[in-house]
Structure 1
């Protein structure tokens, strides 16, 4: 029985498995990440500088772990098994956070597990791209639908994260995340497909603006796009780290408001991702990326000058446009520039985001400690403007 027949026969089940696994793994991450700065501040009792250092060390370790797994998966690794391994590492990470409040253990053993768990979503997206190409699906739309599940997870996850942490404690929060990983293991093990690597023709390689023997470091498009990704996500990471503290300590608004803002932004991202997938053939990835970054620029201008709860809710429209487009189109952009190395391409995007956590964590920790929370949003605005200039330099890939 041919693999094509199996794919066609089970396409609905496999498609649902991609959606469910992305959603469940996304929920696990969306439970832990939003309250991490508060956990380190309130439970572990560390200062803002140590909070920033933790984010940076965690991010640096994730870059190494995910890139090693990506390189292995592109050469000979079975992506489905790698996703299962990453879920087990996610369970280990949450167990460490649930069982200890020792900063040194968290930043060593906890970060070790987190670094290996971080490759789960890049591997799912790489597997999804290969499966879509193998079965003749629209790659951009297929990716958009899966990426939308991750955003849906961030609609539910942050409000639930704050609710669990505030009302039931952080241990309940982390054990809930462990439960999500167990569900993901079940879905991935039983329903995600194994996909043979495609052979890419020289004509396709030429059309994607890169020779398959070129080093990544020699490709200006990759370098510019990677740097643009780092700077735009640095702004976003600083916002995610600082905003819960800014809302509480500077604006003196509700402690539950950050979770609602994150959830609203993620809710806006979902239709934006789906719409952007259909707009790519008309406008191209490059123009959509430029538009998204401009939305981010105006979002941070709004954050600087608007401080009421209603204004913060309204500004999430711009935030949703920004994140919804760059999170979806950015992955496809890297994959199009590296058509023979899907795992590395997807991980480059993910590691660009992770590098931003290193920068964002350090900048947020030191800048807020020295100059207050307000300075963070001026720095974020500068980051977006730098990202805009870099993205303009990338050659167009439709």
Structure 2
């Protein structure tokens, strides 16, 4: 099997799985318990928090453990909106956010908040000047995705963060779920207040994630109870998942630094060869993230291409895995001006450092053969 759906989820590293199993076998106590066994578990969580903070370049007290990207985005957006609603009721985001940002914003709209969904250019990027132009006296939050999960656009989050320094009332949230381990992001330099991470996107385990929360920022909790995670995320800690995530994040950052060129090499090969296949339309910007390529095959449905490639042992997806079963045109592709019939034919190829150039060559060969076969059938039926 050639797995090219790494933006949906990644294969957990062997070391990550080993860490998870060992912790759950040997340190299964509740970290909140008063006995020494519970204390040892708490120490493991503290150590993992310190390791993650060091990798992210922030303070350990600024790391809040969550169950993943959806919870992290919800906590950041709803938590900030509810806590700072006395300052104002206006939130700015973009038309190309992940559903775990869009849906909380829609929910807040129903609660009386005003949401501005900024348009993007043909490459899926929002401009810092557009963000600034949308700011009003009521603006309390700006939420921007770093790497678009469907087409791989990298937003100018650092530039946006700098301009927001002129507006101290505004909290700045970045969804870094698709960027972690692939695209560098300095949280302090970018003046980010809240930033979301999810372990299963960087070869960790599903059900684990963390939210960076700058010390000066206050949030209203979504989950209340036992007051874990600075009273922001109650619930018994997933110790195995947390320790495994720290290991996965370390390996991912090492791969980004030492193997990032490999991803770029495969991406460049794919882009160059896809351009030569008749009927293929590429939606991904040239300067996008190193691991995502979105394309449409003219005249073909995305789900047809996914299953045809699967029969050849190649796994890809139709844009976002979170909404692929709805069989609706991608909202991101619609936002960049792609027509519905082309958008419905979109598929996403997403890489990891485990992929090889040889696999990319096989993908190009099989895609070409599949399109030739399908187009022949279409001509016969016309």
Q: TM-score range by the shorter chain?
A: under 0.3
Give the TM-score normalised by structure 2.
0.28
Greater C-alpha Rg = 2
Which structure would you say has the larger RCO, counting Cα contacts within 8 Å and 6 or more residues apart? 1
